[in-house]
Structure 1
């Protein structure tokens, strides 16, 4: 673009340090500590990572979100578009797009969102005999509030 800013990294760090929301919330961890689990997959479709992308611009069909799952071993991806993020949609996706297609995984890794951490997903895990693990929380809120 034709500009030069030699102190850009320092300026960004200084800006982030002045974030009022981060000052209020940065030192508070609202999740109890838990031991870390390595995400090593021994074979294909052994461990899946799931996440929600969005909200995006509304599509012609009224869809705002993408639910994406990635196999940790092969990096194979499965995705569907959603009009709304509901626990029923998540459970149906896990059952039809992961379990019925590739077999029961040993575990799935999700964030701490309400659509992933609920009694319906817990029942699904118990029914098929796999575990759900949660990823670590993102503690800085600069990206969303500034």
Structure 2
């Protein structure tokens, strides 16, 4: 049964992934950026509370603390990336309305490099989620 389900899933070809998030108007971006700042602040506060109040012999808390730091870094990188995108002039991007077809053409080299580095924020977000999962799994193993 699992094999049949796997075959059906593999044969299904999606038309578009729609993985790029755009923000409608300034208010969408402002609330999104505010969310990044709040999440960053929450992760920093949680990390320092864990450092002060938690027994560090638990492997789970160590993983959770690492995930807090990585989530904080991810939020800072994502915030910077959104901010850089808004600072660039509109003609800085050439191409169609589809975000996958746009290319950066009119920006200083350092700004373009930093902008594209910030677009790789998933390289921090995925390990953050992994460490959070490892922390939860360690808690489950400690209880049993």
Q: Which has the higher helix share?
A: 2
Q: Which has the higher strand share?
A: 1
**TM-score over 0.5 (shorter chain):** no
Larger Rg: 2
TM-score (norm 2): 0.26
Query: Greater RCO between the two (CA within 8 Å, min separation 6)?
Result: 2
